[in-house]
C-alpha cells in the first residue's frame, strides 16, 4: 500500500495501473467498520482502490465541530492496508485548497431540507471537496455509505451537473451490535451516551411496524415523543421523505420509496440515521 500526500504523486501512482478500473472511497478518517466495508467492496469490484483521508474544513459550519472531529491517521493506515487498499491519499489543507474555492453549487430543493436546513453551507463544502477529489483520482466508481442519505443524493446531482464520468455506489449502513449506526463521531460519545444512543435505531425500527396502522404524521409524532423523556437527547429533525426528491410526504401512498431520516444530539454529539419504510 502506497501513501501519498500530493495530487501530483497520486496521479503518478495511478498512471502505473495503466487506465484500469479505479475504485475510490473518500473519507474524513477516524475509520470504522462502515468505511472498511466500502473499501472491501471497492477492492472486489475494481483493479485498484484509492482511499482519501482528509478532514475537509469547508463542510463544517461549526468550527468547534471541526476541531473536535477525531483524527487517527496511523490506525487508519493499518485498517486500510488490512482491507486491501492500494493507494491512500492524505493531503494537507493547502494541497486541496491552494486558494479559496469560491464555487457555489445549486442543488435546488434537495439541499434546503434536513441537513441542508440545519447545516447551511455544508453540502456546498461537500461538493467542493468531492469534486476536487474526483478530478484528482478520476475514479470509475466511488463508494458512499447510506447513513449519509442526503449526501449521496447531493453527490449524484453534482456528478450530473459537472458531467463527471463516475458511477456513484451507495452501500448499506453498517451498525454496531447495539444497532447504533457506525460513525466516526461515535468515538466522541461517553460510554453512557453510547449506550443510550442505541435508542435511535431501536425507535426507527419500531416505527416501521407502526407505519401499517398510523398516518405519516402520527409516526413522526411517535418518534419525536420517544426522545422527550431523556434530556440527553435533543432533536434537530425527524422527517419522512420521498427517497428521490427528499421532500416530506404526507401519506404512505405518495411514493413507493419512503425513507425516515433523523438528526439528533446525544449529549454534545450530533448523530444521523435513516430507515426505509
Instruction: Answer yes or no: is 240 within a domain.
Output: yes
| HSE-up (13 A, CA, CB side) for residue 78 | 5
- Tell me the pTM: 0.94
pLDDT of residue 66: 87
Q: Is position 35 annotated as part of the catalytic site?
A: yes
Q: Are residues 6 and 100 in the same domain?
A: yes
Cβ(74)–Cβ(111) below 8 Å: no
Residue 174: all three cell numbers together:
453498517
Cβ(47)–Cβ(21) below 8 Å: yes
Instruction: Answer yes or no: is 75 within a domain.
Output: yes
Task: For 134-186, write each residue's pLDDT tens digit.
Answer: 999 999 999 999 999 999 999 999 999 999 999 999 999 999 999 999 999 99
Looking at 128, 148, 171, which one is the last position of a domain? 171
Q: Are residues 90 and 205 in the same domain?
A: no
Q: Are residues 160 and 188 in the same domain?
A: no
Distance from C-alpha of 159 to C-alpha of 147, rounded to nearest angstrom: 20
Label residue 65 by pLDDT band (50, 70, 90). confident
- Reference 174, options 37, 64, 23; nearest CA is 37
Residue 135: all three cell numbers together:
478530478
Instruction: Answer yes or no: is 137 within a domain.
Output: yes
Looking at 145, 171, 197, which one is the last position of a domain? 171
The greatest distance separating any two alpha carbons of the chain, rounded to the nearest whole angstrom, comes to 59
Instruction: Answer yes or no: is 158 within a domain.
Output: yes
Rounded (5°) CA angle 212-218-170: 65
CATH at 234: 3.30.1300.10
Residue range(s) defining the domain that contains residue 258: 184-271
Cβ(70)–Cβ(136) below 8 Å: no
CATH at 54: 3.40.50.620
Q: Dihedral through CA 45, CA 137, CA 271, CA 179, nearest 10?
A: 10
Task: For 214-236, write each residue's pLDDT tens digit.
Answer: 999 999 999 999 999 999 999 99
- Reference 20, options 1, 48, 41, 54; nearest CA is 48
Looking at 148, 171, 194, which one is the last position of a domain? 171
Label residue 61 by pLDDT band (50, 70, 90). confident
Distance from C-alpha of 188 to C-alpha of 183, rounded to nearest angstrom: 10
Please say if the pLDDT value at position 19 is more than 90: no
Q: Are residues 57 and 166 in the same domain?
A: yes
Q: Torsions phi, psi of 273, nearest 5?
A: -160, 170
Cβ(195)–Cβ(178) below 8 Å: yes
Q: Are residues 162 and 193 in the same domain?
A: no
Instruction: Answer yes or no: is 176 within a domain.
Output: no
Distance from C-alpha of 130 to C-alpha of 39, rounded to nearest angstrom: 17
pLDDT of residue 208: 97
How many domains, the chain? 2
- The single residue of 32, 35, 122, 276 carrying the catalytic annotation is 35
Distance from C-alpha of 195 to C-alpha of 210, rounded to nearest angstrom: 24
Q: Are residues 90 and 227 in the same domain?
A: no
Q: Are residues 61 and 96 in the same domain?
A: yes
Q: Are residues 102 and 193 in the same domain?
A: no
pLDDT of residue 95: 98
Task: For 156-170, write each residue's pLDDT tens digit.
Answer: 999 999 999 999 999
pLDDT of residue 193: 98
Q: Are residues 17 and 62 in the same domain?
A: yes
42 Cβ contact partners less than 8 Å away, ≥ 6 residues apart = 23, 24, 25, 49, 141, 143
Q: Are residues 147 and 32 in the same domain?
A: yes
Q: Are residues 142 and 210 in the same domain?
A: no
Helices and strands (DSSP H and E) totals, the chain: 10, 9
Amino acid at each position: 500500500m502506497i501513501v501519498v500526500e500530493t495530487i501530483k504523486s497520486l496521479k503518478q501512482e495511478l498512471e502505473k495501473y495503466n487506465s484500469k478500473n479505479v475504485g475510490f472511497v473518500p473519507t474524513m478518517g477516524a475509520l470504522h467498520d462502515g468505511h472498511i466495508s466500502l473499501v472491501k467492496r471497492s477492492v472486489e469490484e475494481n483493479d485498484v482502490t484509492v482511499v482519501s483521508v482528509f478532514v475537509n474544513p469547508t463542510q463544517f459550519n461549526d468550527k468547534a465541530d471541526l476541531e473536535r472531529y477525531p483524527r487517527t491517521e496511523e490506525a487508519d493506515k493499518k485498517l486500510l492496508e488490512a482491507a486491501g487498499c492500494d493507494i491512500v491519499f492524505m493531503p494537507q489543507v493547502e494541497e486541496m485548497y491552494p486558494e479559496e474555492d469560491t464555487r457555489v453549487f445549486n442543488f435546488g430543493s434537495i439541499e434546503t431540507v434536513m441537513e441542508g436546513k440545519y447545516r447551511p453551507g455544508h453540502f456546498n463544502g461537500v461538493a467542493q471537496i468531492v469534486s476536487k477529489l474526483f478530478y484528482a483520482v478520476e475514479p470509475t466508481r466511488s463508494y458512499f455509505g447510506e447513513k449519509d442519505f442526503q449526501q449521496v443524493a447531493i453527490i449524484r446531482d453534482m456528478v450530473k451537473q459537472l458531467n463527471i464520468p463516475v458511477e456513484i455506489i451507495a452501500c448499506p449502513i453498517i451498525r454496531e451490535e447495539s444497532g447504533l449506526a457506525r460513525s466516526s463521531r461515535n468515538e466522541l460519545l461517553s460510554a453512557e451516551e453510547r449506550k443510550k444512543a442505541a435508542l435511535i435505531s431501536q425507535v426507527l425500527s419500531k416505527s416501521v411496524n407502526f407505519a401499517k396502522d398510523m398516518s405519516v404524521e402520527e409516526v413522526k409524532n411517535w418518534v419525536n415523543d420517544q426522545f422527550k423523556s431523556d434530556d440527553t437527547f435533543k432533536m434537530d429533525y425527524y422527517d419522512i421523505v420521498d427517497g428521490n426528491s427528499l421532500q416530506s410526504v404526507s401519506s404512505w401512498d405518495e411514493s413507493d420509496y419512503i425513507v425516515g431520516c433523523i438528526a439528533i444530539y446525544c449529549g454534545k454529539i450530533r448523530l444521523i440515521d435513516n430507515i426505509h419504510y
